[in-house]
């Protein structure tokens, strides 16, 4: 039976004990020649779902992926497992391509990664026609969607695979969850008869936290100091200039921090990405141009210094943390200016009205998540149509429930002050009037004579900013960027002004109150000796990785090294028991790591 064979491959090649979630059934479906559509969150274990059937079925598995820059790492990772893999894309020289094509024709490959534009050439289709094909895996399948931000026109032509190779099973895989995209994938790729596998999109090991308020940079720094003094992570910013300045600032603080955005030369982008993957503890500061398909498993944090445009984008970006299943942080800080500029970006977009409305709704949902005072995970999953029965206990709101206050009166003061100053001024000015500041401009405008002058003196300037942010976020006020951020009332303001509805605001979070996941990671290695051995094993891994020119995680994951440090196996058989050690890796790297453990034990006996 194919499922026994699959389990045997899982153990001997990958070194894992059991399948996760739907993996076994997906593998069965494909091995049996049927199509599948796989929706699984990042880190869910999608690659195995096509790698194992490609090994079970005769012929080569063709993997379509838009991620040319990462293909080499994917091939290296497969090779470390003893899988015969290669890639074909524009970065290869002619000789190399020819050689791979020969291997393909002779049936000497298990897996071939191809960029879609290459696959669609007549020449390639003909070559494939002459080879024995195990399956087609269409990775990052959401790229077919015109509405998504990863749209690739070539993906829409991939239906040709079904027409040219009707007998070859196809699997489309994506970590994008929404039903609309799923429908598009099915329609565009002709997957009407595919079995659909929709996994839970929950990522329980990721802790979500969203901070509001002043000085996001200082908050980021204290977060990094507290939780990730040495870890690799990603910091997302909205603009290129903010990316540059943030990377410089972090570097000035002594961290290895590299910028990444579409304005950098391709060579620099490539170099920074490589260092992020190959070295340890590197921080990438990036616009959303960075990250799709980054399968570095030990990204310990994703921090947002700017608001994402939608919950989909937020979830996808934060999903790059903790693919290895170990505790990770999704941390965000945002302020009033973010809300205003994003709103503005959407409003001034030249997209057709229908699409603009979608963008507006998506942004509104994102802002709602930010201002939420109940469990973030419940809200996130609900957005993707999933229900989480209980609050998660692993988000900021669960761990440290925010204080909520009835802001109805403050909101009415704010709105009427906007109204009485003529809907011509920005947030700072209106706040100055509210707190009754003695200011020349206010006197010249005679706004010191208004009934709203000084009626907000009982609330601090900072707190007012938070009130205005929440009013703008909730749509009770609008900031008009064409008029320098002048605040205007909206149709929603009226019932609030008339006292027909109440509003509640979150009190600002204080950084010192945030709780740490770091302790949880550290207690895994309670023993100081284990910790020392773990460090030694990491050094060994890094030196092997350097020698081979591959990312360290291609050798072994942290979790595998950690288990080695605790179990301290001294024989090849013992090493094989460790999760993540298969036969190929045992043969390639076993001796080196066993030597480290041996040496460590001898030294500790001496001491």
Q: Which is nearer to Zn ion, 49 or 330 (CB)?
A: 330
Kindly list the residues in this chain that would bind Zn ion in the complex (CB under 5 A).
Answer: 375, 377, 391-392, 395, 398
Residue 280 contacts by C-beta under 8 Å, 6 or more apart in sequence? Answer: 230, 232, 538, 542, 552
377 binds, among Zn ion, ligand ADP, none (CB under 5 to 8 A by kind): Zn ion
- Shortest distance (Å) from residue 188 CB to Zn ion: 36
CB of 497 to ligand ADP, least distance (A): 49
User: Dihedral of CA 186/192/194/197: which sign?
Assistant: positive
Nearer to ligand ADP, 232 or 479 (CB): 232
User: How far is Cα 350 from Cα 371, in angstroms, rounded to an integer?
Assistant: 28
Q: Which of 297, 368, 454, 475 binds ligand ADP (CB under 6 A)?
A: 297
368 binds, among ligand ADP, Zn ion, none (CB under 5 to 8 A by kind): none
Q: What is the DSSP letter of 13?
A: I
Q: Which residue is nearest to ligand ADP (CB)?
A: 45
Strand 170-174 relative to strand 111-114: parallel, antiparallel, unpaired? Answer: unpaired
How open is the CA angle 427-433-436, to the nearest 5 degrees? 140
Q: Which residues contact 355 (CB under 8 A, 6 or more apart)?
A: 147
Task: Answer yes or no whether residue 295 interacts with ligand ADP by CB under 6 A.
Answer: yes
Q: 189 or 380, CB closer to Zn ion?
A: 380
Cα→Cα distances 498→415, 492, 494, Å: 11, 11, 6
| Residue 16 binds ligand ADP, judged by CB under 6 A | yes
**Interaction between residue 584 and ligand ADP (CB under 6 A):** no
* 323 near ligand ADP, judged by CB under 6 A: yes
DSSP bridge pairs for 480: 486
| Choice between 306 and 394, CB closer to Zn ion | 394
Nearer to ligand ADP, 14 or 600 (CB): 14
- Residue entry with tokens 């004579």: 449
Residue 53: both structure tokens together: 């059937």
Closest-CA residue to 398 (of 425, 416, 380, 378) = 378
Q: How far is the CB of 307 from ligand ADP (least distance, A)?
A: 25
Query: x/- contact string, 544-573, with ligand ADP (CB under 6 A)?
Result: -------------x----------------
In whole angstroms, give the CA distance from residue 166 to residue 170.
Answer: 9
**Among Zn ion, ligand ADP, none, what binds residue 375 when CB lies within 5 to 8 Å by partner kind?**
Zn ion
Min dist CB 51 to ligand ADP, Å, is: 8
Report the 10 Å Cβ neighbour count for 205: 17
Query: Does the footprint of ligand ADP cover residue 116 (CB under 6 A)?
Result: no
Specify the pairing of strand 233-236 against strand 283-286: parallel
Under the criterion CB under 6 A, does residue 322 sit at the interface with ligand ADP? no
Among ligand ADP, Zn ion, none, the one that 392 touches (CB under a kind-dependent 5 to 8 A) is: Zn ion
The binder of 40, among ligand ADP, Zn ion, none, by C-beta within 5 to 8 A per type, is ligand ADP
Cα–Cα distance between 44 and 26 in angstroms, integer? 13
H helices, E strands: number in the chain: 28, 17
6 binds, among Zn ion, ligand ADP, none (CB under 5 to 8 A by kind): none
DSSP 141: G
Nearest to 456 by CA among 418, 413, 497: 413
Tell me which of ligand ADP, Zn ion, none is bound by residue 87, counting a contact when its beta carbon lies within the kind-specific cut-off of 5 to 8 angstroms.
Answer: none
Residue 58 in contact with residue 69, Cβ under 8 Å?
A: no
- Segment interacting with ligand ADP (CB under 6 A) among 45-53, 80-88, 95-103, 529-537: 45-53
**Pick 60 or 206: Cβ nearer Zn ion:** 206
The only residue of 184, 298, 324, 326 in contact with ligand ADP, by rule CB under 6 A:
324
Number of residues counted as binding ligand ADP (CB under 6 A):
17
* 28 near ligand ADP (CB under 6 A): no
Sheet holding 283-286, edge to edge: 206-212, 328-334, 301-304, 233-236, 283-286, 257-260
Q: Which of 26, 48, 237, 367 binds ligand ADP (CB under 6 A)?
A: 48
Query: Whole-angstrom Cα distance, residue 305 to residue 323?
Result: 21
Q: Give the interface with ligand ADP as residue ranges (CB under 6 A).
A: 16, 19-20, 23, 40, 42-48, 295, 297, 323-324, 557
């Amino acid at each position: 039976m194919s499922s026994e064979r699959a389990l045997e491959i899982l153990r001997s090649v990958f070194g894992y004990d059991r399948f996760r979630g739907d993996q076994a059934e997906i593998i069965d479906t494909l091995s049996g020649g049927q199509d599948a559509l796989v929706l699984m969150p990042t880190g869910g274990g999608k690659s195995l779902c096509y790698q194992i059937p490609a090994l079970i079925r005769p012929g080569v598995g063709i993997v379509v992926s838009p991620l040319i820059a990462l293909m080499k790492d994917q091939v290296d990772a497969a090779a470390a497992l003893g899988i015969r893999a290669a890639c074909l894309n524009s970065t290869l020289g002619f000789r190399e391509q020819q050689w791979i094509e020969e291997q393909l024709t002779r049936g000497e490959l298990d897996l071939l990664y191809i960029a879609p534009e290459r696959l669609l050439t007549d020449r390639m289709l003909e070559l494939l026609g002459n080879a024995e094909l195990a399956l087609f895996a269409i990775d990052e399948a959401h790229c077919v969607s015109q509405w998504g931000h990863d749209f690739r026109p070539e993906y829409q032509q991939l239906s040709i695979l079904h027409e040219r190779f009707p007998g070859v099973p196809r699997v489309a895989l994506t970590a994008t969850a929404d039903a609309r995209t799923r429908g598009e994938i099915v329609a565009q790729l002709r997957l009407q008869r595919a079995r659909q596998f929709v996994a839970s999109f929950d990522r329980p090991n990721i802790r979500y936290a969203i901070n509001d308020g002043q000085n996001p940079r200082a908050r980021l720094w204290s977060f990094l100091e507290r939780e990730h003094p040495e870890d690799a992570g990603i910091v997302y910013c909205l603009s290129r200039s903010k990316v540059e300045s943030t990377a410089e600032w972090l570097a000035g603080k002594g961290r290895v921090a590299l910028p990444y955005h579409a304005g950098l030369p391709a060579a620099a982008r490539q170099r920074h990405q490589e260092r992020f993957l190959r070295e340890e503890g590197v921080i990438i500061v990036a616009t959303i141009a960075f990250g799709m398909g980054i399968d570095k498993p030990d990204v310990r944090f994703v921090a947002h210094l700017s608001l994402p445009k939608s919950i989909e984008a937020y979830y996808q970006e934060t999903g790059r943390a903790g693919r290895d299943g170990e505790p990770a942080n999704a941390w965000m800080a945002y302020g009033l200016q973010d809300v205003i500029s994003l709103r503005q970006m959407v409003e001034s977009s030249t997209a057709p009205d229908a699409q603009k409305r979608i963008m507006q709704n998506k942004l509104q949902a994102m802002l709602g998540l930010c201002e939420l005072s109940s469990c973030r995970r419940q809200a996130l999953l609900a957005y993707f149509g999933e229900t989480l029965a209980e609050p998660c206990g692993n988000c900021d709101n669960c761990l440290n429930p925010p204080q909520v206050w009835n802001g109805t009166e403050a909101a009415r003061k704010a709105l009427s002050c906007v109204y009485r100053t003529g809907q011509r001024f920005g947030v700072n000015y209106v706040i100055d009037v509210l707190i009754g500041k003695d200011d020349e401009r206010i006197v010249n405008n005679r706004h010191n004579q208004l009934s709203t002058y000084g009626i907000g003196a009982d609330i601090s300037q900072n707190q007012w900013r938070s009130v205005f942010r929440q009013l703008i976020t909730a749509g009770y006020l609008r900031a008009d960027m064409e008029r320098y951020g002048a605040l205007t009332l909206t149709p929603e303001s009226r019932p609030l002004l008339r006292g027909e509805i109440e509003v509640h605001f979150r009190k600002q979070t204080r950084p010192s109150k945030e709780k740490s996941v770091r302790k949880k990671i550290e207690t895994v290695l309670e023993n100081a000796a284990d910790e020392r051995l773990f460090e030694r094993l990491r050094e060994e891994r890094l030196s092997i990785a350097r020698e081979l020119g591959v990312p360290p995680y291609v050798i072994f994951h942290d979790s595998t090294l950690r288990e080695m440090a605790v179990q301290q196996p001294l024989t090849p058989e013992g090493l094989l028991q460790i999760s993540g050690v298969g036969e190929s890796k045992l043969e390639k790297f076993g001796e080196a790591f066993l030597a480290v453990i041996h040496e460590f034990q001898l030294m500790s006996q001496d001491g």
